[in-house]
Homo-oligomer: A and B are copies of this chain.
């Protein structure tokens, strides 16, 4: 954990506040092993990355290959969680944490829409990620934009 604070940043004291558990369901493999090498935002023409799904969740991939774009949720496990105001390295002013997509946030969950190239067994091959190699996977959803609900709209 990075414990340094930049000028103007504000941290808060956090008591234990354990409201819900996450279960890691897989692991993301990317070319980036140091935060300084990660792209600032993933691009649809970025390198192929591999999203490994652990058992017993592999059966839950059934039908996912029908979607060109999927949404991934993952746990940014190297991030501190106590900053409410941040001073991004390349900005000349401070920003509230919720006005940034910085990995530093009270619940460090990253979300990305990625291009699904193919599924190989328990592994999705995708483009469009920007996270570190080894990042724990939390969820996979069909993308809203690409998504036609199975059921007709209610009401």
Binding site for B on A (CB under 8 A): 10, 12, 14, 17-25, 39-41, 56-57, 59-64, 66-67, 70-71, 73, 75, 77, 81, 84-85, 88-91, 94-101, 105-107, 109, 111, 113, 136, 138-142, 144, 147, 149-155
Contact = CB atoms under 8 A, between A and B. Distances in A.
Nearest to A112: B144
A76 to B, nearest CB: 10
Given A39-B155, A106-B139, 6 more contacts: A19-B22, A41-B149, A62-B96, A63-B96, A73-B107, A101-B142
B22 A154 contact: no
A84 B140 CA distance: 12
B97 A109 contact: no
